[in-house]
Amino acid sequence: PGPLDENGDPLQNGCEYWDQVFYITKQEVLAHYYNGFDSGVFAADYVCDEIPESILYWPGAGNPFLDNISLANPADFWDHDEDGIYNPCVGDMPTVVIKGCEYENLINTITNMPDQIAFSVRNDAVRSNPLTDSDPMRIELHTYAFNYINSKIESTIYWKYDIINKG
C-alpha cells in the first residue's frame, strides 16, 4: 500500500500509515466549517484540538500533522489560504475534485461535496504480476469512492481514479 518515491520504489517509511482507507463525511466538513468560519473568514483563534481526526489527518499535500509522511500527489482538498499545503487549522478541508467541475469558492465546494468520500493509495511495485509473471509497472493508484445521500442518485457510488506512472 501507499505511494511510490520519485524512482517508483515503495516509500521506506509510512507503509503502515498508508495501509488504510481514509474516510470523511460531509457532516464532518460542515462541522469544521461552522466551527471555524464566520461570514467566509476563518477564525484566527480557531482551536485545532476540536477538528475531527478524519479532517486533521487527511493526506493532503504537506499536512503538518502527518509526521514525515509525504505524498507527491496528495489527496484532494480545498486550499483556503491558497498556499499549496493542506492545513485544516487555517481552513483547508478535504474534498474530491472532478476535472471540469472545480468550484470557485468554498461555499460551492461544500454545497456540492459528496456526503461520503473514501480515499486510498495503492501501488504495484512490491511484487511481479502473478498472471503475466511480468515486472511491476510502478503505478501509483489513488482511488476515491464517493456518494450522495438523499438525492435521486442516492444508490450510485462514483469512482475517481488518479493513475500515476512512476516507472
Query: Tens of pLDDT along 137-154?
Result: 889 999 999 998 877 776
- Cα separation, 63 vs 67, whole angstroms: 9
- Cα separation, 97 vs 85, whole angstroms: 16
Is the pTM here over 0.85, yes or no?
yes
Check residues 6 and 91 and name the one with the higher pLDDT: 91
Cell, residue 145: 469512492
Residue 70 confidence class, pLDDT cut points 50, 70, 90: low
Q: Is 43 exposed, middle or buried (0-12, 13-18, 19+ CB in 10 A)?
A: exposed
Check residues 82 and 108 and name the one with the higher pLDDT: 82
